[in-house]
């Protein structure tokens, strides 16, 4: 009886030992032996899929370029959809500590809400120094000199914009912009100093539908309304922003991300628009992942085939 029990225990112990060895060996071949195999797992784990945003976004075109340019992204899938959808998937993945690769950017509150990092982009597909520019239709300076002066002077920082975007999460973009204007009267005074007020003159600002641009255009709406303008805000795709300003359908926009993100549209329409230069510097676009993921560069991903 006793020897039988010892026998059973021995068999059990041996089985456990085997399992332990097997497990150990498995782990080693997963993570321990060389980067190649370790990163294969990241690519497999996300099923060679990048969670993207709206089809019309500059960031979407850049991500398609990245898939073409990087051997490491050959055969990858890029799921286009919406910013809201991407943020929901990102939230969910992080809650479950699962791997995910998304199209990310700053200014945005996604980096304030989650621990994220950009994957290095050694080929520079997503560009280096990026700015947000102010553009106007031809002739705005002559037709609406007051508005043109304010538009030309308008500038703020990534922190300003992200602050408004974050606050809008708990209220509305209108309210968040109003409280920014309230708290930053010095900046507003710089933009409006010596500018002649007007009496209800109508001006149409054309923007893209992202929170970053909703923030800047709401701030500009308030500043122009305080000078007596009647301001209309029209949200459209980036391609249409340029087209509207080039044809004179819209008066001005604070929305173009340049030189890379909307660079193709800029080239197409630059003869027919006035570029007043950057209103914000230091935007970033790229592939973003939660910091718990063991991957640092787009180059270290693995092709799907
Ligand atoms: N974005 C936000 C836009 C511009 C602003 C980066 C998503 C785009 O990619 O076109």
Share of the chain above pLDDT 70, in %: 87
- What is the torsion angle, in degrees rounded to the nearest 10, for the CA atoms of residue 68, residue 72, residue 77 and residue 80? -60
pLDDT tens digits for range 37-86: 444 589 999 999 999 999 999 999 999 999 999 999 999 999 999 999 99
Cα 104 to ligand 1 centroid, rounded to whole Å = 9
Instruction: Identify the burial level of 221 via C-beta atoms within 10 angstroms of its C-beta, where 0-12 means exposed, 13-18 middle and 19 or more buried.
Output: buried
pLDDT tens digits for range 245-295: 999 999 999 999 999 999 999 999 999 999 999 999 999 999 999 999 999
pLDDT at residue 29 is higher than 80: no
Backbone angles phi, psi at 296, to 5 degrees: -120, -20
Cα 242 to ligand 1 centroid, rounded to whole Å = 14
Neighbours of 140 (CB within 10 A): 21
DSSP single-letter state for residue 113: H
Q: What is the mean pLDDT of the chain?
A: 90
Share of the chain above pLDDT 90, in %: 86
pLDDT at residue 88 is higher than 60: yes
Cβ(52) – ligand 1 distance below 6 Å = no
Cα 30 to ligand 1 centroid, rounded to whole Å = 37
| Separation in Å, CA 95 to CA 51, 85, 247 | 16, 15, 47
* Whole-number pLDDT of residue 303: 96
pTM (predicted TM-score): 0.86
pLDDT tens digits for range 89-98: 999 999 999 9
Query: Which residue segments constitute the domains of the chain, with CATH numbers given?
Result: 30-128+286-300 (3.40.190.100), 130-282 (3.10.105.10)
């Amino acid at each position: 009886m006793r020897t039988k029990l010892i026998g059973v225990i021995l068999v059990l112990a041996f089985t456990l030992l085997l399992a332990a060895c097997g497990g150990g060996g498995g782990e080693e071949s997963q993570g321990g032996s060389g980067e190649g195999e370790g990163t294969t797992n990241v690519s497999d784990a996300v099923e060679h899929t990048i969670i993207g945003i709206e089809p019309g976004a500059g960031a979407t075109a850049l991500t398609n370029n990245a898939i073409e340019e990087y051997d490491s992204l050959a055969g990858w899938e890029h799921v286009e959809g919406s910013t809201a959808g991407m943020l929901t998937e990102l939230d969910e993945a992080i809650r479950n500590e699962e791997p995910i690769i998304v199209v990310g950017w700053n200014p945005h509150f996604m980096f304030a809400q989650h621990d994220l990092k950009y994957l290095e982009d050694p080929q520079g597909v997503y560009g280096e120094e990026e700015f947000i520019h102010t553009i106007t239709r031809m002739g705005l300076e002559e037709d609406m000199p007051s508005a043109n002066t304010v538009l030309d002077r308008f500038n703020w920082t990534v922190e300003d914009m992200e602050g408004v975007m974050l606050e809008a999460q708990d209220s509305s973009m209108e309210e968040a912009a109003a409280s920014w204007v309230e708290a930053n009267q010095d900046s507003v005074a710089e933009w409006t100093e010596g500018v002649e007020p007007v009496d209800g003159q109508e001006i149409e600002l054309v923007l893209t539908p992202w929170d970053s641009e909703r923030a800047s255009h709401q701030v500009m709406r308030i500043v122009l309304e305080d000078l007596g303008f009647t301001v209309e805000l029209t949200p459209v795709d980036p391609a249409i922003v340029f087209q509207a300003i080039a044809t004179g359908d819209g008066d001005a926009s604070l929305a173009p991300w340049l030189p890379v993100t909307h660079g193709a549209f800029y080239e197409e329409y630059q003869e027919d628009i006035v570029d007043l230069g950057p209103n914000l510097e230091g935007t970033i676009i790229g592939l973003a992942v939660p910091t718990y993921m063991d991957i640092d560069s787009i180059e270290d991903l693995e092709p799907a085939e």
